[in-house]
Amino acid sequence: MKGEQHMEHINKDLLDRFWQEQQESLVRLGEVGAEKYFMSVENLAKAFELRDRCLRCIDEGTEGGVHMAGSGILNKEAAVELVQEAGVEGIYSHAGCGAAALYAKQAGLEVNADDLGIDWAKELAQKVGVPYQGHIGYEDMVRPAEFHIARLAYYDSTGTFDPSRIAGLPAGFVISRRYLSGDYAQKEAEIATAIALGEHGFGEKITAEAPFYLVAIGDAKGDGLSKEALVEELSAIAKTNKGRVIAAGFTAPLG
C-alpha cells in the first residue's frame, strides 16, 4: 500500500518514539474521557494564554497564536475575516504545508507548495495591513520533516488555546473554530484527520484501539460554541472513519 511504502522511507524508530511519548496520555484520555482528562491537567488555564496573536497553520509543528490551515490559503475570504475578528498582528507561513500543497492540487498549479504558501501569507499580510512574520522552517518546528506527530486535533472555541504552554499535553493540530464558520471549520478538521490517518501521519498505527481524537474545546460563556455543540459537529467526521476517530470534548476553564 502507498502508506506502507511511505513508512519504509522514514525513521521507524523516530516514529515509534513520538508515538510512545504520547501513549500514556492518550490511554488515559480514552479511559476517563476528555472532560476528566483535561480538567486534571495542572495549570490548564495557562494553555489559554497566547504568547502572541499571529496567524499560523493548524500544523502541530507551528505552535502559538491563532490557526487556520495554510494561514487561510484554502479559504481566502474567511482568512481576512479571521484576521480582523481575532485581532491578528502578523502572518506566518511554514515548511511542508499540506494545505498549500492541497490548494496547488485543487487549482491545477505545478508550483513549489512552500513558495505558494509564502506568497499567500505575504499577500494576506499586505491586504490586512499586518507584518509578514516569516517562514517557519523545519528546524523551528516541533515535529520531524518526514511526518506529523499529532494524535489529536483541538477544535478550539476560545481562540486562545495553545497546547505548547503546558508540558505533556498531547501534540495536536489546532483549529481556531472561534473565528470560523462551522462548515468550514469541519473541513479543516477533515484535513487534519486525513493527514493523521494517512501516509504523512501515524497512518496505520491509528486504529480503533488507538484512535485519533477530535477534541472540541467548548466555551463556558454560553454563546453557542458549547462543548456539546462542537462535539456534534465533529461526530459527523468521526462516524466515517470506522472507529479510528473519536469525537470528544471539554469545556475551557473560565479565565
> Tell me: the pLDDT tens digits for 170-224?
989 999 999 999 999 999 999 999 999 998 999 999 999 999 999 999 998 867 7
Residue 7 has pLDDT above 90, yes or no: no
CB 202, CB 15: distance < 8 Å: yes
Of the candidates 52, 146, 131, the residue with the CA atom closest to the CA atom of residue 91: 131
Q: Give the distance, in angstroms, between the CA of residue 208 and the centroid of all CA atoms in the same chain.
A: 21
CB 73, CB 117: distance < 8 Å: yes
Residue 1 has pLDDT above 60, yes or no: no
Could you tell me the pLDDT band of residue 142, with boundaries at 50, 70 and 90? confident
For 215-250, the pLDDT digits (tens) are 999 998 867 799 999 999 999 999 999 899 999 999
> In angstroms, rounded to a whole number, what is the distance separating the alpha carbons of residues 163 and 145?
20
The residue segments making up the domain with residue 229 are 2-251
Q: What's the length of the chain?
A: 255
For 10-52, the pLDDT digits (tens) are 688 889 999 999 999 999 999 999 999 999 999 999 999 999 9
Q: How many domains does the chain fold into?
A: 1
Write down the pLDDT at residue 10.
62
N-terminal to C-terminal alpha carbon distance within the chain: 48
- 93-123 core/surface letters (b: 16 or more CB in 10 A; e: else): bbbbbbbbbbbbeeeeeeeebbebbbebbee
Residue 4 has pLDDT above 80, yes or no: no
pTM of the model: 0.94
> In angstroms, rounded to a whole number, what is the distance separating the alpha carbons of residues 210 and 189?
18
Write down the pLDDT at residue 5.
37
> In angstroms, rounded to a whole number, what is the distance separating the alpha carbons of residues 153 and 170?
9
User: What is the overall mean pLDDT for the chain?
Assistant: 93
Mean pLDDT (whole number) for 143-161: 95
